[in-house]
Amino acid sequence: MPRLCSRALLGVALVHLCLLRSSVEGFQVATPARSLGHLPHVLVRPCGSNLRLNSNNNNSPSVGTFDAAIPAPAPPSNPKQAGGLLGPLRAKRVLGLVLGQSAIGLAGLGLAWGLHGSPWLAFGPGFDAAARSGALAALGLGAVAAIPMLAFIAFGEVLELDRRFPSLAAVSAATKKTVLISLGKDFRPVAAGFAALLLALAAGAGEEILFRGVMQEEITSRVSGPAGLIVASLVFGALHAITPVYALLAAVAGGYFGWLYNACNHSIVVPGVAHALYDWVALLLVHYEVTKGGPSPARDAAQFEILGLGGGSKDEEKPSAPPDEAAVDA
């Protein structure tokens, strides 16, 4: 009976998490059913870049870097077209995301309580020893453990991997969309930095409690250490399945966090700090990327492109014909 109850609790938690992750982290919000197939594949450069305008004989501007003289799309004139996705940083939205991530940790605490009679076991059996031996040392080790993951970000930026590989481009697009919705359309380093910190702490603590402190530890104690590491990492990746490659990268990251958990005496402190620090830096970097350049038509158009929204109607996307000189003279 206890084993049946534990399996039922674990199953209920996983179903709850699947629903939670699809609605909170992935931001799979329905956008207006407007086909973008008629638009050129490249309309807008990355946020913050300047469009070069050339003058032709009719003194009408054309975009010199594009194949045709097609103007960049303007943001929708009707704000409702954005579905409420694009706007300034909203405290209620950030609070909702923090509560959603915190619910993951609360689910882990509840499982530990139901399985073993103590919610504190969700932090791992070695948590007390790590706290007594030196909390500052564990925090420092967690910060060091985040360096390889941050180095991967820098490596990808230098080599522009998202431009070389379409699958990574999809990951980048999904990440930009998530950050643009959650942290707002304007660059606000202090407010967005604080909001990102709250999100990172909630995700780092909540996900490590559930996936490492409860799931991995439970499978390790019942089956084996490798089984616990592999299963927890795969489930962690599956619940981050915004795209298949995103799920794969998340599973690899989950494996790294799981290895840290085992290597640090089965305590979530080091993997939790590494997880939170990585998320915080990544959120800030992407926030800067999608908001840099300040308010401008080019940046606004690029942000709507990130959300999968075009601007105006088909007629507005066609270049206007130069005025008839005879009509003007008349």
31 or 225, greater pLDDT: 225
Q: Which two tokens stand for residue 200?
A: 């990172």
Indicate the helix (H) or strand (E) that contains 124. Answer: none
Which sequence spans correspond to the domains of the chain? 86-311
Q: What is the pLDDT of residues 262-293, one digit of tens each?
A: 999 999 999 999 999 999 999 999 999 999 87
Instruction: Give the residue-averaged pLDDT of 42-54.
Output: 33
N-terminal to C-terminal alpha carbon distance within the chain: 93
pLDDT at 316: 40
Of the candidate ranges 65-79, 86-100, 117-131, 213-227, the one whose mean pLDDT is the lowest: 65-79
153 or 28, which is more confident: 153
pLDDT exceeds 50 at position 14: no
For residues 13-27, give the mean pLDDT: 41
Q: What is the mean pLDDT of residues 300-309?
A: 83
Q: Are 114 and 106 in contact (CB under 8 A)?
A: no
CA neighbours closer than 13 Å in the CB half-sphere of residue 81 = 15
Percent of the chain with pLDDT over 70: 67
Q: What is the pTM of this model?
A: 0.71
The DSSP secondary-structure symbol of 52 reads: P
